[in-house]
Amino acid sequence: MEQGAILVTGGAGYIGSHVVRQLTAAGERVVVLDNLSTGFAEAVGNAELVVGDTGDQALVSRLLASHGIDSVLHFAAHTVVPESVSNPLKYYGNNTCHTRNLLACCQEAGVRHFIFSSTAAVYGIPEGDACTEDSPNAPINAYGTSKLMSEWMLRDLSAASGLRHVALRYFNVAGSSPDGSIGQSTPRATLLIKVACEVATGRREKLMIFGTDYPTPDGTGVRDYIHVEDLADAHLKALDYLRGGGESVTLNCGYGHGYSVREVVDAVERVAGHRLNVEEAPRRPGDPPILIARADRARSLLGWEPKYDDLDFIVRTSLEWEKKLAAGEVYGA
């Protein structure tokens, strides 16, 4: 039986574009809705791109009906934790209110499957070594809260309607497509590996280590870094799962172990082959000390088998893309 078409919001962004690439390679019919605020038209490849906002209900309803959409993958969001602390309403507006509008359109159009980009930030400062999906939700920044509220809307809507969903809680996504065709060109990036690679290629003067007094082995923040291609694959597996009749579920996406900021800096220096200009700085608002996933559930339920659990490989693909950016060879340069 032919599968329905897929709407990917935020498909021109960093993570969304890697998912779009995998979906189109698998022969899926994909429509991207992206306002290009941080995404790039070039990143969507052969997929159809509609430039617009997820909060625009008239546009979204039109798209769902005209393309016969039965699955929605929702990436469009603001994602910068410290910005969410200084400008919370920006995050509640885009991440929560616009998701509510999108869900209203989905309900009206009878969309059956919804895959939501959630975040490890819903756990706040977790107790213990690693978070399971059942760990308490206690976000410490507006970003995490804005996403958690969307999870709750999805939970309630799935209970009240025929919609089924998978909420994927991403840990720290990094790396770029190993074939070098797409990558992370996000302007004014704040992500550690991206920033470190910008320093390595000379596009940024120095790397600040935000906090050296955390209760971690070397005093710097620890995160579970996952390659974007593995994360993208989890979305395709989640779609298969829903199409196969799977129940709504929330799943962590990480590798289950973490690296400190200093360990990441070491890896970037190793891969780049030279030292980075690094400076120690105070803690950044909204940052928890440690975030590591227990991700067994995604593996067992979806059959997800990550392929790139290797920090140096992750860094290498990031650095390759960064070099192309520095040379002006790719979009976003």
Residues forming the site for ligand UD1 (CB under 6 A): 79-81, 119-121, 171-172, 190-192, 195, 207-211, 221, 223, 261, 284, 287, 291
Separation CA 231–CA 317 (nearest Å): 15
Closest separation between CB of residue 184 and ligand UD1, Å? Answer: 10
Separation CA 176–CA 217 (nearest Å): 29
Which residues contact residue 295 at a Cβ distance below 8 angstroms, ignoring those fewer than 6 apart? 251, 252, 253, 254, 255, 256
Separation CA 146–CA 155 (nearest Å): 15
Closest separation between CB of residue 8 and ligand UD1, Å? Answer: 17
With CA atoms as reference, report the closest residue to 264 among 230, 329, 312, 306.
312
Task: Specify whether 241 is catalytic.
Answer: no
Closest separation between CB of residue 211 and ligand UD1, Å? Answer: 6
**Rounded to a whole number, what is the largest CA-CA distance in the chain?**
57
Separation CA 189–CA 135 (nearest Å): 29
Q: What does DSSP assign to residue 233?
A: H
DSSP 89-153: HHHIIIIIIHHHHHHHHHHHHT--EEEEEEEGGGG-S-SSSSB-TTSPP--SSHHHHHHHHHHHH
Which residues contact residue 189 at a Cβ distance below 8 angstroms, ignoring those fewer than 6 apart? 195, 198
Which residues contact residue 141 at a Cβ distance below 8 angstroms, ignoring those fewer than 6 apart? 81, 82, 84, 85, 121, 285, 286
Residue nearest to ligand UD1 (CB): 221
Q: Tokens standing for 170?
A: 């991403």
Q: Is 81 or 239 the residue whose CB approaches ligand UD1 more closely?
A: 81
Q: Is 112 or 147 the residue whose CB approaches ligand UD1 more closely?
A: 147
Q: Is 52 or 285 the residue whose CB approaches ligand UD1 more closely?
A: 285
Q: Is 211 or 332 the residue whose CB approaches ligand UD1 more closely?
A: 211
Closest separation between CB of residue 141 and ligand UD1, Å? Answer: 8
Q: Active-site residue among 14, 92, 123, 143?
A: 143
Q: Is 71 or 150 the residue whose CB approaches ligand UD1 more closely?
A: 150
Closest separation between CB of residue 291 and ligand UD1, Å? Answer: 4
Instruction: List the catalytic residues.
Output: 143
